């Protein structure tokens, strides 16, 4: 992860957003705007990608409704522009949308920690809650735990269910299944 260096003359939020939208990142890198800071992250490791793929398979296999797992979808939140590791929404939800989309209608976002777990643990959580995304699932590889944040209210999640990695965690409707976190470690 690389944070953009400070400038001598602070930019206003519109200038920062414009600079962010014009940013040209190297292939495989992702850029996000988190609480006014431009953050560029290198491509993830293989274990990170494997966890996301296994999560997507579990949702496709187990979810009660037709849900689609999208990787790398840019979401606009009140706290910035985030690119979750996986975004779950109804099938067809992102058709004909731009690369940066409203978070309205998203059912769950997934983060698998890698280079900067602090951003996954708080700023992203608060951004997703502020956007009203019902669930945020954090697979924290460094801490060895899986945490499901749900029921957003007042800019944060009001319900937190945490378990050690390798155990099962119940996902609420529209998922309505118990996710085995062992393959996601």
| pLDDT tens-place string over residues 81-139 | 999 999 999 999 999 999 999 999 999 999 999 877 888 899 999 999 999 999 999 99
Report how far residue 59's alpha carbon sits from residue 80's, in angstroms, rounded to the nearest whole number: 27
Task: Supply the CATH number for residue 79's domain.
Answer: 3.90.1570.10
27-80 pLDDT, tens per residue?
A: 889 998 998 888 898 888 899 899 999 999 999 998 867 899 998 899 999 999
pLDDT exceeds cutoff 70 at 3: no
Structure tokens at 46: 């293989």
Residue 2 falls inside a structural domain: no
φ/ψ of residue 150, rounded to 5: -145, 175
**Kind of pairing between the strands at 67-70 and 80-82:** unpaired
Report how far residue 16's alpha carbon sits from residue 6's, in angstroms, rounded to the nearest whole number: 11
Residue 48 falls inside a structural domain: yes
pLDDT for 5: 53
Domain ranges, residue 150: 44-184
Show Cβ contacts of residue 181 under 8 Å, excluding neighbours closer than 6 positions: 139, 146, 163, 165, 166, 167, 168, 169
- Number of domains making up the chain: 1
Residue 170 pLDDT level (bands cut at 50, 70, 90): very high
Q: Of all helices (H) and strands (E), which one includes residue 118? A: helix 117-121
Structure tokens at 15: 């200038």
């Amino acid at each position: 992860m690389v944070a953009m260096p400070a400038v001598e003359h602070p930019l206003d939020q519109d200038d920062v957003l414009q600079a962010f939208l014009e940013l040209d990142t190297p292939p495989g890198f992702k850029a996000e705007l988190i609480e006014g800071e431009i953050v560029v992250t290198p491509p993830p490791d293989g274990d990170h990608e494997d966890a996301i793929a296994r999560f997507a398979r579990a949702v496709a296999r187990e979810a009660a409704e037709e849900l689609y797992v999208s990787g790398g979808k840019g979401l606009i939140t009140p706290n910035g522009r985030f690119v979750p590791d996986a975004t779950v929404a109804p099938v067809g939800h992102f058709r004909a949308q731009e690369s940066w989309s409203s978070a309205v209608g998203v059912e769950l976002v997934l983060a698998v920690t890698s280079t900067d777990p602090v951003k996954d643990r708080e700023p992203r959580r608060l951004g997703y809650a502020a956007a009203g995304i019902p669930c945020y699932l954090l697979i924290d590889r460094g801490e060895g735990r899986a945490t499901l944040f749900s029921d957003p209210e007042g800019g944060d999640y009001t319900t937190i269910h945490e378990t050690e990695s390798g155990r099962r965690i119940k996902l609420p409707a529209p998922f309505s299944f118990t996710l085995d976190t062992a393959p996601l470690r």
